[in-house]
Every structure is written in C-alpha cells, then in structure tokens.
Structure 1
Amino acid sequence: MARSAAGGGRRPAIVFLVLVEAAAVLLALGVAGIAGTGDGRPAPRTAAPAGPTPTPTPSVLPTSAIGTAPVIQPGRPGESAQVLRPDQLTPPPGARHNAADIRFVSMMVPHHEQALQMAALVPERAGSTGVIAVADRIRSAQQPEVEVLRGWLRDRGLDSLLGGTGHEHPGMHGMQSPEAIATLTATTGTDFDRMFVEMMSAHHQGAIAMAQEVLANGLDQQVRELARNIAFEQSVEVNRMREVLDPGSK
C-alpha cells in the first residue's frame, strides 16, 4: 500500500512537468515567429538551396574568334569565287541604297560625261600617240559605265537628278570649268597634250576621291563595286598619263 501510494503521487508530478515543457516549446516557437515577421505573422519558410547555381553557357563566340575566319564570296557569271576576310565583304545583293549612293551615281554621270567630252577632242588635236591611246581607253571604259550609272538611277525612279549640268553640282571633285574646256579646245599639238594630261589627271583624282567617299558611306553593292573599279582604273590611268609626258618617270 505504501509503494502504491508513492507511485500514485509521482504520476501527477510527471504529467505536470511534461505540460510545462510543452508550454515552453510552444512559447519559444511563438516568440521566434513574432521576431521573424515583425507583424505577428509566422515567418515564411525558406527552402534550402539545392546546390550551387549553374553558370549559363555563353551564346556567342569569344571576341578573338570573331572576324578571323575566311569567307568564300561567289563571283559574278564567268568569274571565279574569292576568299575574303569578313571585313572585305560588301553588303549582300538587294541591300537598300542610301543618300551616299545616290549622290555618287548622280554626280558620276556628268563627271564621266565631261571626261568623254575631253577625250573626244584628242584625235584632231593631240600631238602624241600616247595621248591618243589614253583617250581611247577613257572612251572604252567610261561610256559603258555611264550607261550603268544611268540605268541604276532609272531603275530607282531617280532620273530627275540628272537635269543639271555637271559644274552645277557642289562637291564634284575634279570637274573642269567651261573656260578651261574652251581653252583646251582651242589648243593643239604638244601644248594640247600637256594641258589634256594635266586636266584629265585632276579629273581622275576627283573621281577617285568621290569613289572613296561612297566606299566609306554607301550601302548598295553594285555602286560599291563600280566605285572600286573606278578608283582602281583611274589610278592606273593617272600613272599612264604621267608616263606619256615623261617616259623616264617609270
């Protein structure tokens, strides 16, 4: 009976201790919740990170690899393909033209036409067969180019830009004045040869400058190709004309 009474006395004490511990745990959880939100609401549970965040793979090539691979550009009919650097590529076919293209084409037509006018004076006035040969090359090269230039304007409805005379275009490098053309027309022999070479050399240098401008600022592929041809051909022609007057300058 004494043991039973002692055991019965301990059970209420144990139950009381368990309740006290449970209340302490609940109180601690409540305090933590209030401290976490500041407004009495339980703090939201934050999921533990699953692991380190993967680094995305770059979608572009390193800078050092850009612009180094050669590109094969197909040639025009009858021409072979070319292997070029990316910075040598011209805009793709069908690219739209811009103001620089229009300016170049509309000015190069009267520019070429003045060169043809000067070349037409040569057969009856020149004293040198070398000057005659230069004039023949100018006619054979620039007359077809005038047709190409006019066709480019016509295809784009820009024919009206050819209404004025050549010397009325501001910024048209190398154009000779009407007075200079009249003086050349009245000259013959050796004097004609020297004047013709000097005037035509300045005229060619002007065309080269105009070609360089459109190559720097133009967009149309056909115009750019024509400008490159003009710059190259007329640079060669200037050297040929110098040799005509001074054969020892080679």
Structure 2
Amino acid sequence: MKSTRTLIRRTVAVTVAGAAAFVLAACGGEGSTGHGGGHTSTSPSAEQSKQNAADVAFAQGMIPHHRQAVEMAQLAPERARSTELKQLAEQIQKAQDPEIKTLSGWLTSWGEEVPAEGASGHAGHGGTAGMMTGQEMTELENASGKAFDTAYMELMIKHHEGAVAMAKTEQAEGAYAPAKKMADAIVTSQSDEIERMNTMLGKD
C-alpha cells in the first residue's frame, strides 16, 4: 500500500513538472512572439522615413537657396580682402554643395521636381527667405576689397537668416527624419556663421 502511494506521488510530481515545463515553454514562445512583434515596432521609424509636403517644400526651397550661397561664396577668393572671410566662404561652399546633391536625390526618389539650375537664383525670387535680387548679386560681383567684404557679410547674414527660418519650419512640420536632421544642422551651423559675421562686422 505504502509503495502504491509512493508511486502515485511520483506520478503526480512528474505530471506537475511536465505541466510546469509546458507552461514555461509556452511563455517562452509568447516571449519569442512578443519579440517578433517587437520587429513590428520598426513601423513607426518606417513612417518617419516617409516624406510629407513640408519635406518637399524644404528640399525644393533649400536647393536654390544653397545654390545662391555657393555662387556668392565662389566670388570671395578673387574679390575678398579678408583672409578670414575667404575661409568662411570656403566653409560655406563645402557645407552646402553636398547638401544640394542630397536634397536633389531626395526629391528624385520621391518623384518630385528638382528645381532647375538658376530657376530661383536671381530674378523673381529676390528677398524670399533672404535670397538676393539680381541687382544685389550684380553689385556684389562688381565689388572688391573691403567693400566686397562688407557687402558679402551683410547679404550672407540675411541669406543665412532665411535658411534658418526655412530649417526651423522643417523641424516643426517635416516628417522625413533625414531632412529634419539636416534642418538641425543648418540651424546650428548657419546661426554660428551669422554670429561670426556679425563679430567680423563689429556689430556685437
């Protein structure tokens, strides 16, 4: 009788252990499923990779804006008197040339129109987001020495302020993460350059 009871107890113990193992396995399976479900959490980041109207406007507006800044910077080596200004102009060109290519690539991948070369460079868009008018560009091209330095910095400060405003709009309204990251960089770098040019002009 005693041995029968012992056998029953062992059988129950084995059954309980087996049930526990099954539950643990099931939990592990759920955890695995949950982890797999965790992969679906990539959908928010996938959503962030989708552009919206603000992203398109940012790219289409910043391309001609950058092109004009590069055009202005290219005048500095031969016309500027200040070595510091020449270095600043080179820095601006090196920063904005690659961004033009990146912005153009985004628009192409989105199936959106890339602004044509010179489309918004001068006439018709002067004053928009700090863009120079055709007359201002001509006057800058005809200047040299200290007069060029002063005109360049005053115009570029206004130009940068326009770019910062555009970038802040992208920060607030854009959805495409890389574009928002570029906007962050523009706000930081061009705000610093504005401060630097104001110092050079003695406006601090």
TM-score normalised over the length of structure 1: 0.59
Deviation per CA, 1:19-47, whole angstroms, max 9, x where unpaired? xxxxxxxxxxxxxxxxxxxxxxxxxxxxx
Per the alignment, residue 114 of structure 1 pairs with 68
Per the alignment, residue 120 of structure 2 pairs with 165
Contact map agreement 2:59 2:107 (CA 8 A) in 1: yes
Between the two proteins, what is the percent identity of the paired residues? 39
| Gap runs ≥5 in structure 2 | 1-43
Task: Please give the alpha-carbon distance, in whole angstroms, between the structure 2 residues aligned to 1:225 and 1:241.
Answer: 24
Deviation per CA, 1:40-87, whole angstroms, max 9, x where unpaired? xxxxxxxxxxxxxxxxxxxxxxxxxxxxxxxxxxxxxxxxxxxxxxxx
Per the alignment, residue 145 of structure 2 pairs with 189
Highest relative contact order (Cα 8 Å, sep 6+), 1 or 2?
2
- Judged with a 3 Å threshold, the aligned counterparts in structure 2 of structure 1 residues 218 and 171 are, in CA distance, closer, same or farther, namely farther
Task: Please give the alpha-carbon distance, in whole angstroms, between the structure 1 residues aligned to 2:187 and 2:172.
Answer: 13
Task: Please give the alpha-carbon distance, in whole angstroms, between the structure 2 residues aligned to 1:186 and 1:169.
Answer: 21
Task: Please give the alpha-carbon distance, in whole angstroms, between the structure 1 residues aligned to 2:126 and 2:144.
Answer: 31
Per the alignment, residue 232 of structure 1 pairs with 188
- Judged with a 3 Å threshold, the aligned counterparts in structure 2 of structure 1 residues 101 and 169 are, in CA distance, closer, same or farther, namely farther
Per the alignment, residue 134 of structure 2 pairs with 178
Task: Please give the alpha-carbon distance, in whole angstroms, between the structure 2 residues aligned to 1:142 and 1:166.
Answer: 15
- Judged with a 3 Å threshold, the aligned counterparts in structure 2 of structure 1 residues 124 and 227 are, in CA distance, closer, same or farther, namely same
Deviation per CA, 1:91-146, whole angstroms, max 9, x where unpaired? 72552211111001001000000000000000110011111111011011111111
Larger Cα-atom Rg: 1
User: 1:227, CA displacement in angstroms?
Assistant: 0.5
Partner-residue secondary structure (3-state), 1:127: coil
- 1:99-248 equivalence runs, <5 A: 99-158=53-112, 160-163=113-116, 164-167=119-122, 168=124, 172-246=128-202
Per the alignment, residue 25 of structure 2 pairs with none
Looking at secondary structure, tell me which structure has more helix per residue.
2
| Gap runs ≥5 in structure 1 | 1-90
Deviation per CA, 1:221-245, whole angstroms, max 9, x where unpaired? 1110010101110000111112223
RMSD across aligned positions (CA): 1.9
TM-score normalised over the length of structure 2: 0.72
Task: Please give the alpha-carbon distance, in whole angstroms, between the structure 1 residues aligned to 2:150 and 2:159.
Answer: 14
Contact map agreement 2:64 2:120 (CA 8 A) in 1: yes
Deviation per CA, 1:150-209, whole angstroms, max 9, x where unpaired? 111111121x34133245459941100011000000000111000000000000000000
Task: Please give the alpha-carbon distance, in whole angstroms, between the structure 2 residues aligned to 1:133 and 1:240.
Answer: 12
State how many pairs are aligned. Answer: 157
Runs of 4+ aligned residues of structure 1 deviating over 6 Å after TM superposition are none
One-letter amino acid of the structure 1 residue matched with residue 61 of structure 2 = M
